[in-house]
Structure 1
Amino acid sequence: MNSSRKLACQNAGSSNLTLLYLTIYTYNINKSILQKNKMDKLLPAQIKKSLFALALLPLFALANPSNSTWLPTKTFASKPDVSHVSVSPDGKHIASLVRIDTENKQGTAINLYNFATQERTFPVFVEDKKFVISDIFWANNDNLLVEAKFASSVRGTPITELHLMKYDLRSKKLKAAIPNSFMQRLSYIPNIRSNVIDILPDDPKHFLLQIAGHMHEGEPSVAKVALERGGNTHYVQPAEHDIFDWQTDRQGNVRIAIAKKDGVFTIYHVPIGKDSKSDFEKLWTFEAFSDKAIWPIGFGYEKNQLYVKALHQGYDAVFKVDLTSKHRALELVKAREGRDVTGHLRYSRKLKQVIGVGDYIWSDEARKFNDAINKALPDLDNHIVSMSEDENNYVVLATSDTEPGIYLMGDRNKKMMEVLAYRYNALTPEVLAEKKPISYQARDGLTIHGYLTKPKHAQEGQKLPIIIHPHGGPITFDGDGFDYWTQFFANRGYAVLQMNFRGSYGYGFDFLKQGIQAWGQAMQDDVEDATRWAIKQGIADPDKICIVGASYGGYAALMGAIKTPDLYKCAISFAGVTDVEALVKSSRNFTNYDIVKKQVGDDFDQLWQNSPLKHAQKINIPVLLIHGNKDRVVRFEQSEDMYDELKDANKEVKLVELEKGDHYLSNEQHRLTTFTEMESFLQRFL
């Protein structure tokens, strides 16, 4: 893609494409380019006064950067201009979330665009303070489902509540998606009320919702929820002891039950017509973080064709199994050499077959169309994020390390694509820095992979001030795509080194297993070894190194300051864990407590020994702590207690409390505050 982001995509659409089918798996349950003139479809030129009582300045003029690549902090700290783009099943409407930033209104709105009438409406607006819209998706042609989250508490336990609303395009009204008459029949109101497990494409008047509050303590039932007023909302699968997740086949039948007890998972087959656990067929049993794990990820068109993820030669691979067979042998479908297969199962209703998983396509017909899109959009990672029911209209999100994202609308019959919107309008490839893959040897010989981003105009061989940036999770990974934190640091003249330390996902079971109950140990050594590698390679100026991380990365940043006090000049922790013992104990009131103990550890004396809070007095470099006081993943007290300890020890420390802030910087002002504080801190100490 050239600097003006102009694309040539004329021939895309010559073969059949896929429907992206997302299998929903909830792990934690709480007990209680072608036509620039059409780019503005997703962003309003103005907001109707009847809705917001003011006009919105145009947000979608192309950026025109000056010769300098130094961009305002807000350019990076802003939430995406456009996200969650989705086409309706009939292809007549498109929905998205858009950023609102005017003199008096800041937040997120839902934007609906009618292709026939070219009408835009903005039916929902939130300030991203108490409420945050976390997802939108179509239930049918007339109803858009809206998931919203907010911080709450139950009997003193901080929790996140997830609600489900529906917006009716005909009545133009936003209502609760679950009828009040159904909610009144619950024995208690659960905090998670948005877990849609099947939109039932063949039954546009209903969807299937997994929800607790019916029977037992915390275990969910499956309800068939009516979308029309007066419809029959009723249970189709009652709750069962220990079962925390249900999955359906392509015909909308509940077919898989996943149970968990004392850190052991059991996968059950639910025969059609059976609704009692006594009638379920046990398929597999395995401990958490075991190499024997077999995880269902979805069904094929045939009712008894189940796809699963399991290990093949030490790496996650995709298999299929015939549930009618006696031995239920796993048949290998897709494996990668030296890497895990990642992503959700992809299914085509038109072809009536599973066509791939994640970015890996094995259907010949689907692959031809994928190849056509990739040919039309070269040098980009292209993901089909939405598709109409007939699979003619589709939305592509095209990204790269220097392209934050372009949404394009495709029409297969017309064999054309057109730009809908830029995810971050002001961030263009000419001002962003390239991310290069790197690898190094840890002290025990293990190969660690990662990425190095240098400032845009860095000279070859130049020693640079550098940010060591371990990721959160820790069972996740840093990839080669766009990262707004990394690009912000690079724009300010810092190199950024990201490493997928042991315990990161994607590098096989043995690699992941080394991160289990290993906080502050070899995982931390991998971060240190990355820093020393950067110095040895002549990349890092050894006198200008700061370690910066969020969540687990914030923990790693503080532990780096403790274990290697002379290696770093400063440390920044956003929502970082400082008391690992308290982190584990805070899960006691949640159904995932046994899993947390298996992952992080249950030797509380050892967890305290590996906690930055215990060793605060060892820190002799400046520390910046930033934390939202409504964080429900890592509680605000973690940073507050660390600040008190450092202050008592007369250390250089600053605590920035984000009022009503969550773990994910969902509020734009919180992002701006965070980035402004980090920028000032780095300028002062690095």
Structure 2
Amino acid sequence: MIRRSHQALTTALLLTLSAFAQAAPPPAASFFNDPDIAEAVLSPSGKRLAITSAKGAARVGLVVMDLAPGGPLKRVVGSQSSDVVQVRWANEERLLFSLTDLGEASGSHHRAPGLFAVNVDGSRMRMLVRQTHNFINTDSSHTDSLSWNHRLLLVPELRPGEANDRVLLAETGGIGGIYAENPVWLNVNTGATHAYATTAPASSYRWVVNRQGKAWATLTVRNDRVQAHWLPPNQTGWVQLYDTTVIDQPFTIEGVGDDGTLYVSHVPPGAAQRVLARYDPQTRAPSTTPLVRAPGFDFSGHLLSEGGVLLGVRTLVDSHTTVWLDERMKKFQAQVDRLLAGKLNHIDCRRCGQPDMVALVHSYSDRDPGKLWLYQARPGDGESRWRAIGRLREDIDPATMASLDLQSIQARDGRELPVWITRPEGATGPLPAVVLVHGGPWVRGVVWQWNAWAQFLASRGYVVIEPEFRGSDGYGEAHFRAGFKQWGQAMQDDVTDTLKWAQQQGLASDRACIVGASYGGYAALMGLARDPELYRCGIASLAISDLALMTNGSWWVTDDGAVARRLTLPELVGDPVKDAAMLAANSPVKLAERMKAPLLLAYGELDQRVPLAHGTRMRDALIAAGRPPEWVSYPGEGHGWSKPAHRLDFARRVETFLARHLAPPPQNSGPAPGTTAPAR
């Protein structure tokens, strides 16, 4: 991976001054405050840029930049009580956005942020979809706005010479906990709606539409099974592609072309990883010739098209990358990569590859959250123009950040395990270690980019070890399925093996703490119970502690797990009846007597994913065992800390806790990691 060497200092005085300057790491706020630029979206013509930012204001607002030379910049939406999110262009003159309160705790957030429209000059503000609370004044009461259970599904792509004043929404509803959606067209100027004409199967929960909003495929759930349907080109009847369980779907529909061509991801026979391919209507299966393959990684990404032409595919390997199918864009990508060398450069373009192309480039690395650059081709005078738009996080100095590397090790049973290592630049010898376990657990844990928690911990002097244990997504079907019913067992062995490997490699010392949230919090608890000799401390937030409560549910504990308990948890975690003994044996709440190391427990009081009962049961069990934990619960928070004060409070608690328990032996001179100049 990319590394930068520190600039050599030339005098003893400068060395001394530098030591004092570097003693205090960046404050927690630098890592956990909202970014300076949250969203940046080019208009359909590429003549304007919409940005969401709180710079110079108390709240995140919407700013529109005229990209002509000397063009003005105007703040078109601003509020004292709400923040702008989810910005889209309806057409060249009108923008869509939603509103939320980023200062609220997550459990207090209204789940439907509404939908609003506004002109680029700030006029004709209109509420299109209602919220529970009105955050902003519009140009009329708009009592005809749609109910909160509508979400934006698609903004049609503008065709040359055409105007667009409508968007496609999905009205959501549910039966038996399974959500279905009904599409409806909405006029962004008047708020008027008209029906979406389709013969697609009823009760579909996902609609696969082309850039003009025509439905070509849907997914439905009936009798706890998933059915996929497709409308083949030049036909009027829908065809069922499969009918199977949620876990055993033979392929995933990734997108559709204007002509109805389906693009799907699947694991070919005899292959290890998921690839992208076209669906073959003749064989009624994915094509045997992949469109995109990423050896070592499952395909995960989306199609890039313009004007009905597939230009490329954005996918995820160790980092996000773009596979351009268009030769002109291949050449432009190479040009950008030469100009912005040493960075990953993601291109969002209008009139892509054309002589008058406009492109927005996000240039970033593992040590740099990134900077936005604008490219404007100028065919008239034969010159092109680059200009800097701004940095995403101005408080972060990339030169002081740590490097991120992906390693591959062998678990005790021979399974290959991907492991991410974040290590402070210039560090030598074994460092005190934080084993940071991702949540999910059926997700990809880490991507090669700047990651706030890993960088925060590395800035305090720790080596951060993040295993992609079995059950993690993105590394092949076998790796994913190897985690079935392995909570606290082989999945936990993988975490243990990762730390032991890092110690054997001289990366980590014998001073280690295990940390995680959600499933990662569960793994932190199990690590302390199963391997008490390995860890000097643990930090578990939002942690599952009782597998019986998770898989059975309870009439007096409210959560959002009813559908998962019916469709996936019996196979992924365990059947609450048939596997009751296994679940009990791997429930941290039953293993409190084994936990000897200091523990910090943190929960959200309104969490519906992992209810507070998991935390109080774990806390009470540890108190009964004579090992009371440090405890904090955040009022109003759900499954994560969104209130800035809570984010910073938790980060500082983590910093203090780790410094206390991973401090070097007394004979070691110098300050303990994280003990100097704590953020306040």
**Aligned AA (2:35):** P
Within 5 Å, give how 1:232-631 maps onto structure 2. Answer: 232-237=193-198, 240-270=201-231, 279-290=237-248, 293-301=250-258, 303-312=259-268, 313-321=271-279, 323=281, 325=282, 327=284, 330=287, 331-349=289-307, 352-358=309-315, 359=321, 360-385=323-348, 387=350, 392-413=357-378, 414-459=383-428, 462-474=429-441, 475-542=443-510, 544-584=511-551, 585=553, 586-590=559-563, 593-603=566-576, 605=580, 606-631=582-607
Structure 1 residues 633-668: Cα deviation after superposition (integer angstroms, max 9, x where no partner)? 333333233223323433241222223234343332
The answer to which of 357-366 and 382-391 deviates more is 382-391
| In 2, Cα distance between equivalents of 1:299 and 1:214 | 26
1:221–1:237 CA contact under 8 A, matched in 2: no
| 1:20 alignment counterpart | none
User: How many residues are treated as equivalent by the alignment?
Assistant: 604
Relative to 1, partners in 2 of residues 1:645 and 1:591: Cα closer, same or farther, differing over 3 Å?
closer
Letter in 1 for 2:309: K
Supply the distance in 2 between the matched residues of 1:593 and 1:321 (Cα, whole angstroms). 30
Please tell me whether the aligned partners of residues 64 and 120 of structure 2 are also in contact (alpha carbons under 8 angstroms).
no
Q: Secondary structure at the match of 1:194?
A: strand
Q: Residue 291 of structure 2: SS of its match in structure 1?
A: strand
Alpha-carbon distance in 2 for matches of 1:436, 1:125: 42
* Contact 2:154-2:213 within 8 A present in 1 as well: no
CA distance 1:621–1:388, change in 2 (3 Å): farther
Match of 1:146 among 92, 97, 121: 97
Shift of residue 432, structure 1, vs aligned partner:
0.4
Alignment equivalent of 1:222, drawn from 183, 187, 195: 183
Distance 1:327-1:676 versus aligned 2 partners, 3 A rule: closer
Name the CA distance, whole Å, in 2 between partners of 1:361 and 1:147.
32
Q: Matches of 2:216 and 2:375 in 1, distance apart? A: 34
Residues in 2 aligned to 1:71 and 1:205: alpha-carbon distance in whole angstroms:
47
Distance 1:408 1:540 in 2: 38
TM-score by length of 1: 0.80
Distance 1:653 1:179, change over 3 A: closer
SS in 2 for 1:557: helix
Q: Does the Cα contact within 8 Å between 1:466 and 1:545 map onto a contact in 2? A: yes
Determine the C-alpha separation between the residues in 1 that align with 2:357 and 2:311: 18
**CA distance in structure 2 between the partners assigned to 1:263 and 1:401 by the alignment:** 42
Cα pair 2:487 2:573 within 8 Å, conserved? yes
Post-superposition offset of 1:575: 2.0
Q: Give the conservation status (yes or no) of the 8 Å contact 1:246–1:254.
A: yes
Kindly provide the amino acid, as one letter, of the partner of residue 74 in structure 1.
A
Displacement of 1:100 in angstroms is 5.2
The equivalent of 1:115 in structure 2 is 67
**TM-aligned CA distance change 1:497 to 1:281, over 3 Å:** same
Of the three residues 158, 165, 168, the one matched with 1:208 is 168
1:241 deviates by: 4.9
Q: Which moves more between the two structures, 631-640 or 367-376?
A: 631-640
Q: Distance in 2 between matches of 1:228 and 1:215?
A: 33
Displacement after TM superposition at 1:489 (Å): 0.7
| 1:164 match | 115
| C-alpha distance in 2 between matches for 1:421 and 1:93 | 15
Measured in 2, the distance between the counterparts of 1:673 and 1:561 equals 24
1:667 alignment partner in structure 2: 643
2:260 maps to a residue whose letter is N
Whether the aligned pair in 1 keeps the contact of 2:434 and 2:513 (CA below 8 Å) is: yes
State the SS of the aligned residue for 1:341: coil
Q: Secondary structure at the match of 1:634?
A: coil
Would the aligned equivalents of 1:97 and 1:109 in 2 still touch at CA under 8 Å?
Answer: yes
Counterpart residue type for residue 524 of structure 2: A
TM-score, normalised with respect to structure 2: 0.80
Cα contact 1:108–1:126 (8 A) shared by 2:
no
* TM superposition shift of 1:229: 1.0
Deviation for aligned residue 1:592 = 8.2
SS in structure 2 at match of 1:602: coil
* 1:392-428 Cα shifts (integer Å, max 9, x gaps): 2221111111111111112133523222111111112
Aligned partners of 2:274 and 2:30: how far apart in 1? 38
Structure 2: gaps (5+ residues) = 6-19, 132-140, 316-320, 554-558, 663-680
Letter in structure 2 aligned against 1:476: R
8 Å Cα contact 2:89-2:96 kept in structure 1: yes
What is the Cα deviation at residue 148 of structure 1?
4.4
Distance 1:124 1:232, change over 3 A: same
Residues 510-568 of structure 1 deviation map (CA, whole Å, 9 limit, x = unaligned): 111112332212111100111111222222221x2101112221111111111111211
- Worse-superposed segment, 587-596 or 359-368: 587-596
Check 1:271–1:552 CA distance in 2 against 1; reply closer, same or farther (3 A cut): same
Q: Distance in 1 between matches of 2:88 and 2:226?
A: 30
Q: Give 1 or 2 for the bigger CA radius of gyration.
A: 2
Tell me the distance in 1 between the aligned counterparts of 2:621 and 2:80.
37
Structure 2 counterpart of 1:635: 611
Aligned counterpart, 2:52? 97
**1:379 is aligned with what amino acid?**
G
The answer (yes or no) to whether the contact 1:87–1:388 under 8 Å persists in 2 is no
Query: Hey, what's the Cα distance between the residues in 1 that align with 2:418 and 2:266?
Result: 23
CA distance in structure 1 between the aligned counterparts of 2:549 and 2:234, rounded to whole angstroms: 45
Unmatched tracts of structure 1, length 5 or more: 5-64
CA RMSD of aligned residues (A): 3.5
Q: For residues 647 and 211 of structure 1, what CA distance do their matches in structure 2 show?
A: 48
Q: Tell me how far apart the structure 2 counterparts of residues 274 and 168 of structure 1 sit (CA, whole Å).
A: 40
* Matched-pair contact (CA < 8 Å) for 2:361–2:374: yes
The one of 110, 121, 126 aligned to 1:175: 126
Shift in Å, 1:232? 3.7
